[in-house]
Structure 1
Amino acid sequence: MNNSDPSEIPRLRAFNFTIFGTSVLVASYFPLFYAGLGFSKSQIGLLYALGPMISIVANLLWSIASDKFRTIKKIMLILLLGEIIMSAVLSLSTSFSVIVLMITIFYFFFYPVFPLSDTLAINAAKRANKSFITIRIFGSIGYAFFALFIGYLLSFLGSSRTMWVTIGIAGIALLITLFMKDQSAPVAKMDMSGIWRILKQKELLWFFGCVFSLAIAVRMNDAFLTVTLNDLGASEDMIGWSQLASSLSEVPIFLLLSIYGEKIKELPLLIFASLMFATRFLLVSLADSALDIILVQTLHSLSFGVFYVTSIRMLTRLVPDEYRATGMALFTIAWSSASGLLSGTFGGMAFEQFGRERFYMIAVGFALLACIGFASRYIIRGPRPTIAPAPAVQEAARKDLPE
């Protein structure tokens, strides 16, 4: 039965489009803001690492708050308002110690916006009998648009105005949120008892280990790509073009895999994606100009695009619905939180000590390690295990069957 509001999907698409503008700023232009304040590569790496560390706690706390108070919309309003306030404070800060404190609080509000947005989108898509990708893809389009728009805007205003641009985009997202339909609970509650059931599955453990290795390489690139471009003489608008090239390239891959991806098994696709990541980072290490790196960014579609859709598909296959939130939480820790903390902390020191070429060769090594892990599992894997649903879930499923 479809009881969705016809305007709900367009509003969520607009919201996804907008919030990825703040993602562009945090990923690409915050490091330039720090560099403009005179911070070293190690300091920039530390500031980047704070985000993944805070996200582990922030995602859990805000998820609990959302469940306790039976609202996602109101939590989202608080998060966006917090982003705006902390951006205003950061715009007035120049001391490294002060920025460490302020950016920590900023991240506490910033990171939970995305999993809660996914929750809204998944629920709305289910009610409207649509694919989640039809909403999520507008995030990629928004990322592409804002990457270029913000690049040109900051090339005119200067990187010192980065936080004011953040305030503007978060403010637009806040206005859109006011008109969105609220939802009372997440798709699936976090089940702490489910962690042990998940971690007993050898294939899942292997999968998370490979994801973690690949994620270290990816987060190293995320943290220092714009710094690399800046060192090669790229302006803010050229950096925008590099982000546009990567984000737009993933759109057709998302669409193709959502239609035809099921015809190819997951592990061969993950092996391919890991090889593409390794190739991408190798080419960045060899690049002589910012233009070369922009061209390399088009490999984002064959690396991240293939990996993201396939990894979510594999996780969905291996983890039943009752443990979806737990499985996604563990995946997020491996892909974003723990890997970002490690790569940001040690990546900054590696970049400073060894230079760009060796830094990216280290990233190549981690991507190849993940590729070997996926390949070895593909070769030696036995029957595909899945976690058996709890008896209560089995009984509920039986009740849903037609008589």
Structure 2
Amino acid sequence: MPLRYRVASLFAAYFFGLGLFLPFFPLVLAEAGLGAAEIGSLLALPLLIRLVANPLVSALADRYLRPGQAIALLSAVACAGFGALFLVSGFWPTALVLAATSLAWGPLVPISDALAARVQRRGGGDYGRMRLWGSIAFVVANLVGGLLVGTWTSAVVLGGIIAGLAVSAVVGWCLPLARLRDESASEEAQAPGPGRGAAILYAPSFLLVIAAVGLVQASHAAYYAFSALYWSQAGLGGTQVGLLWGLGVVTEVLLFSMAGRIGARIGSGGLLAFGAVAAVVRWLAFPLALDLWTISALQLLHGLTFGATHLGGVAYVARMAPPQWAGAAQGIASTIVGVMSATATALAGLLYAQGAEPAFFAMACLAGLGGALLCVSLLWGRPRA
């Protein structure tokens, strides 16, 4: 099987599990008898663990393991962790197992992103076309989960996640690529010094661009947390809400399918700029859109606000980071995005209590600030993929 298909299957396997976890894992916890406050705390736990695990585990994987070995090992550990959730009950045992599982589950995304960027750099495939299968699998999992959850909620949700991770482990073990550290030995020997990688990752221009990516991605916080509630209060039914979410992901998939051609023309900087501008427009108009057709038109911007920003960020990091630091660099970027997204989610919750307008206008400000930081980064050199 060509390498690009294997990487695409890794994305599909992971995001199929995530498509079950995000909407339906709270039902698993409720089925286990946990209360609302306990469920909220447990859902926040993987986000907190990921902030530390992603850069640390990704850096260790870069240094000591082949990418496929790292993916296989982490997938197997996460698979065992989700399996253990069948055997535990109560808040603290569940929290302990979920924390251990998140240490392995979270870093799979930055490691897979670094792997896909490496395959693209070697001419073996297009990142967007590999990543789009993750978005497709996410939607499929939403639909499958929606049809099957009920009496056997835990079996459907946990079993589906475990199946995806098992596929990821098998595919990862069969990947033929050498360690990034070994493959890039000649490049490292030609570098000015051993601190070159770290110096690049902490350069002001690099951090400004990653902060810009983080702010634009964080501006989706109010959408992820409150769009379904807002649309329901506007009179839309559950089926319509589901279709609107699906429409956003479809635009994301379409952009990913054309990412190679678009990125070659406008570069990572152009993708990020389009994402920031579209996000400002989307969030300013969001609380004003109350009918199905206007909301649908705004949902078409999701391919830019999320998709273009994600593609631009991954491409920029892949270009700037030396190969031996690829996984660590993607881990650092995902951590920065995660911190900003968590903060924005808390802010959105406080503001939404005052109404939709303050919450979404604040999200527009975050996206605008991200665009401003992107412009400032041009003083240190224009980012191009």
**Shorter-normalised TM-score: what interval?**
0.7 to 0.9
1:21 positional shift: 0.5
Query: Which segment drifts farther, 15-24 or 43-52?
Result: 43-52
Residue 103 of structure 2 is aligned to residue 104 of structure 1: no
Q: Distance in 1 between matches of 2:81 and 2:292?
A: 32
Residue 183 of structure 2 is aligned to residue 186 of structure 1: no
Q: Name the residue aligned to 1:276.
A: 278
1:217 positional shift: 1.8
1:281-300 to 2 correspondences below 5 Å: 281-286=283-288, 296-300=298-302
**TM-score (normalizing by structure 1):** 0.73
Pairing partner for 1:149 from 144, 147, 150? 144
Counterparts in 2 of 1:260 and 1:164: CA distance versus 1, 3 Å: closer
- Check the 8 A contact 1:49/1:341 in 2, yes or no: no
Q: Name the residue aligned to 2:362.
A: 362
1:253-268 to 2 correspondences below 5 Å: 253-264=255-266, 267=269
Q: Distance in 2 between matches of 1:61 and 1:383?
A: 28
Counterparts in 2 of 1:78 and 1:86: CA distance versus 1, 3 Å: same
Give unpaired runs (5+ residues) of structure 1. Answer: 1-5, 387-403
1:374-389 to 2 correspondences below 5 Å: 374=374, 376-377=375-376, 381-382=378-379, 384=381
- Check the 8 A contact 1:214/1:274 in 2, yes or no: yes
- Check the 8 A contact 1:29/1:159 in 2, yes or no: no
Pairing partner for 1:23 from 14, 18, 24? 18
Q: Give identity over the alignment, percent.
A: 19
Alignment coverage as a number of residue pairs: 372
1:339 positional shift: 1.8
Q: Name the amino acid aligned to 1:186.
A: L
- Check the 8 A contact 1:15/1:173 in 2, yes or no: yes
Q: Distance in 2 between matches of 1:360 and 1:45?
A: 23
What SS does the aligned partner of 1:264 have?
Answer: helix
Instruction: Write the deviation string for residues 156-176 of structure 1: whole angstroms up to 9, x where unpaired.
Output: 855895333323333444454
Q: Distance in 2 between matches of 1:244 and 1:168?
A: 23
1:65-104 to 2 correspondences below 5 Å: 65-67=60-62, 69-90=64-85, 95-104=90-99
What SS does the aligned partner of 2:219 have?
Answer: helix
Query: Which segment drifts farther, 362-371 or 279-288?
Result: 279-288
Q: Name the amino acid aligned to 1:77.
A: A
Q: Name the residue aligned to 1:397.
A: none
Counterparts in 2 of 1:310 and 1:139: CA distance versus 1, 3 Å: same
What SS does the aligned partner of 2:149 have?
Answer: helix
Q: Name the residue aligned to 2:311.
A: 309
Residue 105 of structure 2 is aligned to residue 113 of structure 1: no
Residue 198 of structure 2 is aligned to residue 195 of structure 1: yes
Q: Distance in 2 between matches of 1:323 and 1:11?
A: 22
Q: Name the residue aligned to 2:191.
A: none
What SS does the aligned partner of 2:177 have?
Answer: coil
Q: Name the residue aligned to 2:336.
A: 334
**TM-score (normalizing by structure 2):** 0.75
